[in-house]
């Protein structure tokens, strides 16, 4: 048999360190951590949607600390302007020239907290940055960091003074995650850990991976093999979603590309150099629900996954 | 029920119309068979129940449950499988293509019943359309155009309602995708087709003739041979032997070139050939029994009055000679072909008075009162006195004229109705004698004519005494020559005088003759003996059938029963040809018998000659069913060993069907495990999946291998290893680096996961 290289051991070790750091920061949610890591490795952006106080910001900050590099945070408010995110040009009296002052988007990890509280105009400022990893200010294009990664959070229950994200914006996210309440044991551990800390702040994890290493991991993920049968399966699923009577907007080709990339990342995290239909199915829920919006019933995705035949044997 | 209920109902109606159309077209007389209609009624009821009560599938492309699939399969196969038994039960059968049409009709009605499935609904419509087209091409009955009109109306409605039902269906099914179909040339199918076509050509060209004949039998109504299937219809109206009429199955043309007068076939020659010439023919009666005046005139010109032939029958004959000439110049195997129950007496000439001095029977006269009326369709009904209440069910016969000697229409006794294609006016017919029908104005009944008849049947034992009239008939029917009166009365009284009047007396006379007298066609009365009948009764006790018939007739007359003497043909059951399901009637079957007049004007055939029987009363269907069951039982007992073996084999196959299937797929895998590791892994995984299917643990369509393996109880490392290897084989560009050899993994998994383990047992 011809040997095929498995996932390198160094990559596995790096991922293990990163996984451990995040699991310490957010206790009892390994599945959420795994999906966030898949999103990170797939060079996608993640939208965390959950009730207040469940650890969205904690997870974002911990991830930013673990992957290192520049971390920025934007607290989105209704009076936030696009320039407040992308940066703006200021006239320098000394040099008699306009100088570009980079905004928080020029970072490796950007935390956009409560993103649905800012106006659509400001939300749209992130479109170019998330999709093309660049911003254009005063007709000048500014390239963002290679590992640019957006973690946005939003509160699903308090709708007063909020602006739901438009479809175009949602399509830029790779997945939407909910964290949920921790179980009893993890809450007890959390309470115990808070004893003796006067400011009540969590300790951020130490940097677990260098930005260059992260980029290397992302390149390895992109090289994970996807068989034509699996690609056919992906297309079948996308077609089924598009034809589903309860789904108003089908999956875009960009969404399909993102789905494949996330499935690659999931296979990589499992230590497998190729994608299986299991990978596709396991990441379907977070990838699809960010694109479906709130009006699509929750049973749509399971029903699609259970009816589209899984390819095993060559036709 | 949903909005498709009207579409379901119209589908059933459409199929029912097609069913009836086929049933009508399948019967040449245009009268659907009671069995077919009853069976169709049952099926129709079932179809309606199904159409109304079967639930609509969740989505239009949902798979049909296996039980319905089984029903559809049985619906197609059972009519074909039951055909031999139906033939046995009813004595009727269908050629192969009609059997297939019958099977299609059953299948179509079941499909209509399952019209809740749109695909089956449309398939049923296609089947009904085919059946309607088939019936229109095959049948020419008057009802066919009306039925096709009804079909067209229903078809239009069906299109509207089906479209309306279809508009409510989603274009795409929830969660279902339209599979991408790779466009490729059907090399494999083309290869199979080419091989089959070449094999068929080779068989036709180089195979034995029987193979070709069998292939031709597939479409018997278009010219089948009838050799391999006795029920196959020979080409209607176009067979090469159609006119010659020597095949019992030919039918059709009335007019033909074969209507040639042939004096050599006249009845007089036949009778003389069979019984020998009279001892003393009178000069003026060179032909004592003639085939008809017209032939003689045609061949010899107008005869003087003293040379006119007579049809009288001489009872003083020399007996048959040693060198009998061929009885017919035709290629036909007989004068007539009889389809239906036998024995059957076919009257030709009846005789009324016995002239003792001339030792001959005087032929009867044309009756004036019996009527024939057109009663609808192409049937002519015999009108006359009200039939008595002693008759059983009417019996149906088809008599085909192959090579007639005169213009008599061959019919069974006690005729109720008759049909000769479109010859459906009373003036086309004539009563030659009482109960003897002929074609008016014709010299011969043309070959190829098929006479359909219904006749009354009865069991003489049930006849009451008053059914034999004492007054109100022609006195000639009780006339006994004075010279014979004393002797015949003495004998009759001795034999039956002590019995009450009625069938018992008649039966006593017949029984005496049948028991104590023997048939001898060579026997002849001495030339000097004045009364051959008395010679027969008192001296020889043996003689030809005309002496039996003469003696019986005169003895019955002596007892006061109106009786007559008949010449005709006897369709002998021993001559029944199972290949054609017909009984040929030839000149050797010429026969004479007595008949007794009944009160309702019908003549009761009685048979004093040993070896000859009378057509028994038609049994009701319950008795026939019992006979069929008895036949089946007898057949089963004859083949008990084979049947038991087959039943045991079938039972074992059914009981162990899953293990059998498992053994087959396992052996197939062992024979063809695959050459590359990838094929080996996938084939082994497929084998396990098949075992799981047999055990009811099928992997669902949307289920991955990992999910399926995780769902199985007692899933172990061997299975997981094979699953992992199969995933590599299916999705990875290359093989895993460090796993054990694929063959070992496959064999381990196949060994650890036998069929019974999937059912919950242990390895």
| Cβ–Cβ gap B682/A1 under 8 Å | no
pLDDT-derived band at B188, boundaries 50, 70, 90: confident
From chain B, the residues in CB contact with A277 under 8 A are 704, 731
- pLDDT at position B403 is 83
pLDDT digits (tens, 9 = 90+) for A23-32: 888 888 999 9
CB of A129 within 8 A of CB of A86? yes
| Cβ–Cβ gap A307/B172 under 8 Å | no
**CA gap A26, A107 in Å, rounded:** 23
**Between B700, B703, B737, which is nearest A4 by CB?**
B737
From chain B, the residues in CB contact with A271 under 8 A are none
Give the residue from chain A lying closest to B181, CA to CA: A315
Judged by DSSP in three states, A134 sits in strand
pLDDT averaged over chain A? Answer: 87
How far, in Å, are A137, A150, A254, B300 from residue A133 at the CA level? 14, 10, 15, 123
Contacts of B321 by beta carbon, 8 Å cutoff, 6+ apart: B276
**Between A273, A313, A315, which is nearest B682 by CB?**
A313
Distance from CA of A161 to the nearest CA of B (A): 37
Q: Strand pairing of A175-177 and A149-154?
A: unpaired
Q: Taking residues A214-223, what's their average pLDDT?
A: 91
Helices and strands per DSSP (H, E), number in chain A: 13, 9
CB of B289 within 8 A of CB of B272? yes
- Quick one: tokens of A10? 């160094």
B700 touches chain A (CB under 8 A): yes
**CA gap A156, B683 in Å, rounded:** 49
CATH topology of domain A9-223: Rossmann fold (3.40.50)
Residue A308 CB neighbours (<10 A): 24
Size of chain B in residues: 763
Residue B300 CB neighbours (<10 A): 10
pLDDT digits (tens, 9 = 90+) for B694-730: 888 889 889 999 999 998 888 888 999 999 999 999 9
**Between B177, B700, B731, which is nearest A227 by CB?**
B731
B746 touches chain A (CB under 8 A): no
Which ranges in chain A are annotated with CATH 3.40.50.300? Answer: 9-223
**Between B677, B701, B726, which is nearest A307 by CB?**
B701
pLDDT averaged over chain B? Answer: 80
Minimum mean pLDDT range among A265-269, B297-301, B490-494:
B297-301
From chain A, the residues in CB contact with B681 under 8 A are none
Q: Which residues of A touch B (CB under 8 A)?
A: 1-6, 225, 227, 229-230, 232, 235-237, 239-240, 243-246, 273-278, 281, 300, 303-315
pLDDT exceeds 60 at position B54: yes
From chain A, the residues in CB contact with B706 under 8 A are 276, 278
Judged by DSSP in three states, B395 sits in strand
Residue with tokens 């029963």: B561
Burial of B240 (0-12, 13-18, 19+ CB in 10 A): exposed
pLDDT-derived band at A201, boundaries 50, 70, 90: low
Q: What is the DSSP string of B513-535?
A: HHHH-EE-TT----TT-S-HHHI
What CATH number matches the domain at A224-315, 1.10.10.10, 3.30.70.260, 1.10.8.80, 3.30.1330.10? 1.10.8.80
Q: How many CA atoms lie within 13 A of A290 on its CB side?
A: 31
**Between A2, A237, A275, which is nearest B735 by CB?**
A2
Residue with tokens 């499992």: A270
- pLDDT at position B306 is 45
B675 touches chain A (CB under 8 A): no
Q: How many CA atoms lie within 13 A of B488 on its CB side?
A: 25
CB of B135 within 8 A of CB of B24? yes
Q: Taking residues B374-382, what's their average pLDDT?
A: 80
| Cβ–Cβ gap A310/B706 under 8 Å | no
Give the residue from chain B lying closest to A305, CA to CA: B702
B702 touches chain A (CB under 8 A): yes
Beta strands in B211-359 (DSSP E): 313-314, 336-339, 344-355
Give the residue from chain A lying closest to B173, CA to CA: A244
A:B CB pairs within 8 Å: 109
Beta strands in B281-427 (DSSP E): 313-314, 336-339, 344-355, 360-363, 371-374, 380-383, 395-401, 408-409, 415-419
- Quick one: tokens of B529? 């003996």
From chain B, the residues in CB contact with A296 under 8 A are none
| Cβ–Cβ gap A236/B179 under 8 Å | yes
Three state DSSP letters for B673-718: CCCCHHHHHHHHHHHHHHHHHHCCCCCCCCCCHHHHHHHCCCCCHH
- pLDDT at position B240 is 38
- Quick one: tokens of B482? 């004075």
| Cβ–Cβ gap B174/A245 under 8 Å | yes
Instruction: Classify domain B462-571+588-605 by CATH number.
Output: 3.10.620.30
| Cβ–Cβ gap A6/B737 under 8 Å | yes
| Cβ–Cβ gap A239/B177 under 8 Å | yes
B204 touches chain A (CB under 8 A): no
Give the residue from chain A lying closest to B681, CA to CA: A313
ipTM value for the complex: 0.87
**CA gap B386, B459 in Å, rounded:** 18
- pLDDT at position B180 is 46
Burial of B261 (0-12, 13-18, 19+ CB in 10 A): middle
**CA gap A308, A304 in Å, rounded:** 6
Which residues, in sequence order, are bridge partners of residue B669?
A: none
Size of chain A in residues: 315
From chain B, the residues in CB contact with A234 under 8 A are none
| Cβ–Cβ gap A311/B685 under 8 Å | no
Q: Taking residues A80-95, what's their average pLDDT?
A: 90
- pLDDT at position B177 is 46
Q: Strand pairing of A87-92 and A97-102?
A: antiparallel
Burial of B565 (0-12, 13-18, 19+ CB in 10 A): buried
| Cβ–Cβ gap B730/A313 under 8 Å | yes
**Between B172, B180, B737, which is nearest A3 by CB?**
B737
- Quick one: tokens of A27? 């206790």
Please name which of B595, B282, B678, B675 lies closest in space to residue A4, comparing C-alpha atoms. Answer: B678
pLDDT-derived band at B269, boundaries 50, 70, 90: low
How far, in Å, are A43, A108, A151, B405, B601 from residue A218 at the CA level? 7, 14, 17, 106, 111
Determine the longest span between alpha carbons in chain A, in angstroms: 72
CB of B128 within 8 A of CB of B668? no
Question: Which of A216-250 are b and which e, b meaning 16 or more Cβ less than 10 Å from the residue's Cβ?
Answer: bbbebbeebbbbebbeebbebbbbbbebbeebeeb
Q: Taking residues B286-294, what's their average pLDDT?
A: 44
Q: What share of chain A is helix, strand, coil (3-state, %, to 5)?
A: 45, 15, 40
Residue with tokens 């302007």: A81
End-to-end CA distance of chain B: 48
């Amino acid at each position: 048999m011809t040997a095929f290289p498995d996932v390198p051991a160094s990559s596995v070790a790096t991922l293990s360190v990163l996984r451990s750091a995040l699991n310490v920061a957010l206790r009892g949610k390994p599945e959420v951590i795994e999906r966030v890591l898949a999103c990170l490795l797939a060079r996608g952006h993640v939208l965390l949607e959950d009730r207040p106080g469940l650890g969205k910001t904690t997870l974002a900050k911990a991830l930013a600390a673990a992957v290192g590099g520049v971390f920025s945070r934007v607290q989105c408010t209704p009076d936030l302007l696009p320039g407040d995110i992308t940066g703006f040009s200021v006239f320098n009296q000394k040099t008699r020239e306009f100088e570009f002052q980079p905004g928080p988007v020029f970072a490796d990890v950007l935390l956009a907290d409560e993103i649905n509280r800012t106006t659509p105009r400001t939300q749209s400022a992130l479109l170019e940055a998330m999709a093309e990893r660049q911003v254009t200010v005063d007709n000048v294009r500014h390239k963002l960091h290679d590992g640019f990664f957006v973690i946005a959070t939003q509160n699903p229950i308090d709708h007063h003074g909020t602006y739901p994200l438009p479809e175009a914006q949602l399509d830029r996210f790779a997945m939407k995650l909910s964290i949920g309440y921790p179980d009893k044991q993890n809450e007890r551990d959390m309470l115990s850990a808070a004893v003796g800390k006067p400011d009540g702040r969590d300790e951020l994890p130490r940097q677990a991976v260098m930005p260059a290493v992260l980029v290397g991991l992302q390149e390895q993920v992109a090289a994970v093999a996807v068989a034509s049968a699996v690609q056919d399966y992906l297309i079948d699923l996308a077609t089924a979603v598009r034809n589903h009577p309860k789904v108003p907007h089908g999956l875009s080709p960009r969404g399909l590309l993102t789905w494949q990339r996330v499935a690659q990342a999931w296979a990589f995290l499992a230590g497998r150099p190729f994608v299986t239909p299991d990978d596709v199915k396991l990441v379907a829920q977070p990838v699809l629900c960010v694109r479906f919006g709130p009006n699509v019933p929750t049973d749509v995705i399971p029903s699609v996954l259970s009816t589209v035949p899984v390819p095993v044997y060559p036709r | 029920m949903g909005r498709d209920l009207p579409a379901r109902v119209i589908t059933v109606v459409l199929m029912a119309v097609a069913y009836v159309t086929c049933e009508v077209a399948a019967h040449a007389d245009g009268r659907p068979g009671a069995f077919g209609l009853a069976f169709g009624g049952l099926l129709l009821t079932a179809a309606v129940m199904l159409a109304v009560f079967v639930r609509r599938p969740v989505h239009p492309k949902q798979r049909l449950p296996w039980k319905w699939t089984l029903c559809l399969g049985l619906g197609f196969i059972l009519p074909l499988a039951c055909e031999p038994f139906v033939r046995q039960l009813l004595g009727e059968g269908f050629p192969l293509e009609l059997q297939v049409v019958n099977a299609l009709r059953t299948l179509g009605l079941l499909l209509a019943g399952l019209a809740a499935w749109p695909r089956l609904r449309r398939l049923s419509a296609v089947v009904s359309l085919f059946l309607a087209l088939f019936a229109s091409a095959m049948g020419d009955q008057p009802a066919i155009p009306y039925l096709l009109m009804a079909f067209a109306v229903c078809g239009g409605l069906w299109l509207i309602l089906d479209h309306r039902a279809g508009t409510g269906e989603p274009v795409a099914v929830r969660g279902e995708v339209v599979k991408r179909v790779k466009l490729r040339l059907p090399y494999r199918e083309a290869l199979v087709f080419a091989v089959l076509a070449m094999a068929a050509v080779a068989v036709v060209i180089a195979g034995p003739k029987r193979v070709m004949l069998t292939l031709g039998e597939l479409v018997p109504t278009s010219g089948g041979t009838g050799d391999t299937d006795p029920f196959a219809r020979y080409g209607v109206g176009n067979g090469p032997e159609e006119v010659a009429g020597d095949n019992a199955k030919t039918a059709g043309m009335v007019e033909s070139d074969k209507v040639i007068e042939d004096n050599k076939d006249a009845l007089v020659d036949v009778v003389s050939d069979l019984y020998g010439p009279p001892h003393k023919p009178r000069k003026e009666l060179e032909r004592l029994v003639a085939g008809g005046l017209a032939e003689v005139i045609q061949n010899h010109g107008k005869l003087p009055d003293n040379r006119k032939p007579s049809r009288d029958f001489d009872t003083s004959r020399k007996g048959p000679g040693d060198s009998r000439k061929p009885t017919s110049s035709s290629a036909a195997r007989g004068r007539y072909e009889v389809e239906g129950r036998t024995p059957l007496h076919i009257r030709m000439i009846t005789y009324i008075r016995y002239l003792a001095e001339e030792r001959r029977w005087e032929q009867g006269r044309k009756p004036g009162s019996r009527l024939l009326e057109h009663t609808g369709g192409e049937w002519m009904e015999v009108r006359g006195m009200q039939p008595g209440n002693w008759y059983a069910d009417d019996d149906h016969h088809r008599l085909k004229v192959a090579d007639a000697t005169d213009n008599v229409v061959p019919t069974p006794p006690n005729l109720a109705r008759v049909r000769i294609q479109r010859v459906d006016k009373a003036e086309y017919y004539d009563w030659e004698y009482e109960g003897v029908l002929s074609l008016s104005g014709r010299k011969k009944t043309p070959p190829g004519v098929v006479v359909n008849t219904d006749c009354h049947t009865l069991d003489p034992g049930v006849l009451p005494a008053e059914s034999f009239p004492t007054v109100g008939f022609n006195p000639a029917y009780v006339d006994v020559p004075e010279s014979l009166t004393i002797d015949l009365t003495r004998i009759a009284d001795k034999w039956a005088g002590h019995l009450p009047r009625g069938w018992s007396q008649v039966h006593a006379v017949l029984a005496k003759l049948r028991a104590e007298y023997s048939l001898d066609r060579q026997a002849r009365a001495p030339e000097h003996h004045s009364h051959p009948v008395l010679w027969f009764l008192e001296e020889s006790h043996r003689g030809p059938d005309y002496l039996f018939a003469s003696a019986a007739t005169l003895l019955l007359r002596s007892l006061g029963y109106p009786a007559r003497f008949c010449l005709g043909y006897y369709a002998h059951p021993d001559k029944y040809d199972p290949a054609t399901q017909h009984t040929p009637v030839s000149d050797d079957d010429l026969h004479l018998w007595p008949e007794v007049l009944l009160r309702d004007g019908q003549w009761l055939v009685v048979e004093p000659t040993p070896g000859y029987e009378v057509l028994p009363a038609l049994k009701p269907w319950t008795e026939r069913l019992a006979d069929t069951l008895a036949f089946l039982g007898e057949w089963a007992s004859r083949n008990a060993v084979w049947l038991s073996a087959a039943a045991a084999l079938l039972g074992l196959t059914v009981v162990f069907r899953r293990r059998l299937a498992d053994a087959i797929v396992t052996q197939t895998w062992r024979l063809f495990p695959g050459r590359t590791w990838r094929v080996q892994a996938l084939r082994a995984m497929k084998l396990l999946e098949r075992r799981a299917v047999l055990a009811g643990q099928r992997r669902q369509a949307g289920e991955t291998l990992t999910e399926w393996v995780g769902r199985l109880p007692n899933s172990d490392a061997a299975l997981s290893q094979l699953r992992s290897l199969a995933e590599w084989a299916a999705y990875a560009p290359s093989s895993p680096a460090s796993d054990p050899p694929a063959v070992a993994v496959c064999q381990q998994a196949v060994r650890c996961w036998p069929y019974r383990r999937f059912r919950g047992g242990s390895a």
